[in-house]
Amino acid sequence: MSDNAELREAREQLEQGVKGVLALNNPAERARLWELPDRRVVMMLSIGAGIVFITVMTILFAAAGGATAKPATASAPATAAKPAAEPASGLSASRLGIMLLDYPSKHFLYPFTIQNFMHLLFFIGLGELFVRWRVGRREMLFLKNRYLPEDEETVLQFADLGPIRRQVAKVFDGEHGFLPSLIDISILQFQASRSVDQTVSVMNNALELISTRVDLRYGLIRFIAWMIPTVGFIGTVYGLGASLYEAGASAEINVQETARTLGVGFDCTMVALIQSAILVFAMHLVQENEETAVNLSGGYCLRNLINRLYTGPAA
């Protein structure tokens, strides 16, 4: 009868834990963007940040370009050739505007350029990395909550597991809380079977599922890191095609316009490769942090729970 009572208590605690998890779906709870960011909210904020970035850069380049263009319009025709040579001299404001934003754009209705589309993708990828970084940091903090005894003398008997499970039941859900979920499912299995071997097997399976889930969370970031260079190559091919079309459409080839169109096309690839490299490097660091949290959670559970389970009669 005592075993049945313990099982009923475990089920009740599980139901209470699920109710506690549902509270995480409350907008007031999820509004804590820094502690537990919501992917949808962060994605919207990332798109907004990308739009703000494009707007600010456009205003800056427009102001710098306007300042350099005024002397050319007011001066004599003999001096009008000087601004034409300015873009070739280093990274001027007009050169940076064309390279980063394709501003002013010759082939697209600004701001709907290939570079600006890559910027939006880049900011979405950064937002996803922010979510994963905060989740990884939160998982590492669970290791400092001392849910389990960490001394070298304590042995956990059957009656000691209920309070531990009640402590962790409300701090995890299906997506977050690696360590509390491992402790919960291990205690639940031991309460049901009283077998350490089965408990270890269930914990290992849970660890594999968590590792797979963590890897799947980076699918969108990998896609964005692949898509940005692809869009950049499309921009380069478009620039090559546009320059060849312009060269074939006129009786005399305008070398300056053809070279400018080719330069914009190659700028797309350069910007795309830089953004992709930044995303891949940051993804490596963030994913390493989250996978480390998974491994440390498994080691903590094995060392402080599994190795302390006592299957003999109560003292």
Instruction: For residue 135, give both structure tokens.
Output: 């989740």
Cβ atoms of 110 and 104 within 8 Å: the answer is: yes
What token pair was written down for 172? 């995890």
For residue 33, what pLDDT band results from cuts at 50, 70 and 90?
confident
Average pLDDT over residues 52-66: 86
Q: Which residue has the tokens 């205003």?
A: 59
Retrieve residue 76's tokens: 């004599």
Mean pLDDT taken over the chain: 81
pLDDT on residue 37: 83
Length in residues, the chain: 315
Mean pLDDT across 149-176: 87
Give the pLDDT of residue 241: 80
Reported as a single tens digit per residue, the pLDDT across 213-260 is 999 999 999 999 999 999 999 988 887 887 777 767 666 766 677 777
Distance CA 295, CA 179 (A): 10
Grade residue 68 by pLDDT with cuts at 50, 70 and 90: very low
Does 290 score more than 60 pLDDT? yes
Task: Specify the pTM.
Answer: 0.77
Closest among 62, 85, 61 to 72, alpha carbons compared = 85
Which of 166, 132, 171 is CA-nearest to residue 283? 132
Range with the poorest average pLDDT among 4-18, 99-113, 193-207, 245-259: 4-18
The distance in angstroms from the start CA to the end CA of the chain is 19
Spatial CA neighbour of 292 closest among 88, 171, 135, 154: 135
Query: Is 208 in contact with 199 (CB distance < 8 Å)?
Result: no
pLDDT band at 18 (very low <50, low <70, confident <90, very high): very low
